[in-house]
Amino acid sequence: MLESLKQTIEDNFSFRPNKNQFRDIERLTFEIMRREKIHLNQIIDYLKNNSKAAKCSGKDKFFAIKNSLLNRRFPLTTNKEKIDAKRIFLTQLKKPLLDKWQVNPIRDKSSETTTTSLMRISNGVNKEFNPLKVFVEKEVRKSYLVDNFKKMFPQVEMEELSYYSEYLKKNKFHISQLKKSIVFIVKEKWDFIKPCPCTKHHLSCGYWIFNLGFGCPFDCSYCFLQQYTNFPGLILPANLDDFFEKFDRFAGKLKKPIRIGTGEFCDSLALDDITQYSSKLIPYFKEKNVSFELKTKSTQIDNLLKIKSSPNIVISWSLNPPSIIEKEELATASLEERIEAAGKAQTAGFGVGFHFDPIIHFQDWKNQYKEVICQLYSKVKPPFAWISLGTLRSNRELKTIVESRFPQSNIFYGELLLGEDKKLRYPRFLRKEIYSKLIEWIREYDTKTLVYLCMENKEMWEILGLLRNTTAPF
């Protein structure tokens, strides 16, 4: 990637790195250039002035260069603590995908054959879903969901399959196919309800997943689904009655009310105009002793507004500053639109919740997150059902996928180190600062709403005083 780097290192430091050494130097140099928007020669000047490489020989020369690069790559962390080498993830740079299916709302009609948008675009901003093909499992061919697709997309080709996995046997999946606008309408047989897996060594908030579908018409750069998907498009179950039957049996064994929702492996409402899931879920769950959540980055609330509301039905929105939404959450509703939709849902009598997740650390994060909180409380009245906070985290493999699918994204060049659970996350002091600030800004407006952490360790909950919260979600 940085073609001239090896030679430049050799010319300036009389040192020829081996393959692994060069991988580390190249990765660190590349990330510093991206973070600081600087040229290679500025980094070489920095190394000449700051590293002890010139005075070292052999292997020591490499460590002198690497340590100087690490100090520059992780400036906040190296100021606070010595970074354990095992916590640094330095992988080989790979080329970005040149040809991928994308939801980017700018569509060039002349080049539709290679790269097509999942969204139908008019005037550059219409974010309406437009499937290319719908596969239907035979057992649900007569379902309401198939009828809905036929009515709404009469031109779209439909094909029957015994099981959606047949598609995978015939079509080898590559990550470039991820957002191809294919829909699989299926009969879910096994995976109805499960506890949120949270992550190793972290405190679970006790959430349950009502597993209604997999895949999303939006395209967030940090989305963990990219890593777990081995098929393009979206899976939409048509057999809601089976889900309800399973839940009835499951609820009989519950000793206390739980929080449960559909938004773990999909956006709960992004396609609600087609699936009409909310029209079935809300009347069912409002009679149950649970908090049922529909989590979204959309403004698809028309169906909700036609249904009699209930406070145990919580419609929640993920929030981020507009600069992050524009660059990292492609095809989603703007911050303003999300907050406006939340206000309408609240007025209609639903509980509303908010997720600051993932919170991204960047230079202007304080001003921008504070502004989001100010905007939220100026339009929607507290207390809310809950607010969750979670800083950016991911398996290391996701970083490689994001680099290939979103070469313009810089979020994985933040100060992310491998944590106890082997996930990339900001160091403890930084997460603590971020959470403390967000809680402080929230509490300026609202002392009542439950604030909890997503995928954080017990120590962090304790430091922030959240375990003493009598309304903790577990």
Residue placing its CB nearer to ligand SF4 in the complex, 61 or 393: 393
Least distance CB 11 / ligand SF4 (angstroms): 45
Least distance CB 293 / ligand SF4 (angstroms): 14
Tokens coding 66: 């690497």
Residue placing its CB nearer to ligand SF4 in the complex, 28 or 402: 402
Residues within the interface to ligand SF4 (CB under 6 A): 216, 218-220, 223, 225, 266-267, 297
Residue placing its CB nearer to ligand SF4 in the complex, 220 or 294: 220
d(Cα 163, Cα 167) in Å, to the nearest integer? 8
Tell me the torsion sign for CA atoms 357, 389, 473, 196: positive
Tokens coding 79: 């100021």
Those residues with Cβ within 8 angstroms of residue 142's Cβ, 6 or more apart along the chain or in another chain: none
Q: Helix axis angle, 19-36 relative to 40-50, nearest 10°?
A: 110
Least distance CB 460 / ligand SF4 (angstroms): 22
Tokens coding 125: 């901003």
Contact 387, 372 (CB under 8 A): no
Nearest to 279 by CA among 148, 411, 133: 148
Tokens coding 176: 């470039």
Q: Rounded to whole angstroms, what are the CA distances from 109 to 112, 120, 332, 344?
A: 5, 11, 22, 36
Least distance CB 87 / ligand SF4 (angstroms): 25
d(Cα 251, Cα 192) in Å, to the nearest integer? 13
Residue placing its CB nearer to ligand SF4 in the complex, 239 or 298: 298
Residue placing its CB nearer to ligand SF4 in the complex, 43 or 178: 178
Tokens coding 457: 């360790």
Residue placing its CB nearer to ligand SF4 in the complex, 184 or 218: 218
DSSP string, 85-151: GGG-------PPPSS--B--S---GGGTTTS-BSEE-STTT--EE--SEEEEEGGGTTSHHHHHHHH
Residue placing its CB nearer to ligand SF4 in the complex, 239 or 318: 318
Nearest to 63 by CA among 106, 20, 124: 20
Least distance CB 143 / ligand SF4 (angstroms): 23
Least distance CB 228 / ligand SF4 (angstroms): 11
Contact 102, 62 (CB under 8 A): no
Residue placing its CB nearer to ligand SF4 in the complex, 265 or 285: 265
Least distance CB 181 / ligand SF4 (angstroms): 14
Least distance CB 221 / ligand SF4 (angstroms): 9
d(Cα 301, Cα 343) in Å, to the nearest integer? 11
Least distance CB 190 / ligand SF4 (angstroms): 21
Residue placing its CB nearer to ligand SF4 in the complex, 317 or 461: 317
Instruction: Identify the three-state secondary structure at position 184.
Output: strand
Least distance CB 265 / ligand SF4 (angstroms): 7
Those residues with Cβ within 8 angstroms of residue 241's Cβ, 6 or more apart along the chain or in another chain: none
Residue placing its CB nearer to ligand SF4 in the complex, 218 or 350: 218
d(Cα 452, Cα 125) in Å, to the nearest integer? 34
Integer-rounded Cα Rg, in Å, for the chain is: 24
Residue placing its CB nearer to ligand SF4 in the complex, 219 or 415: 219
d(Cα 352, Cα 314) in Å, to the nearest integer? 5
Least distance CB 216 / ligand SF4 (angstroms): 3
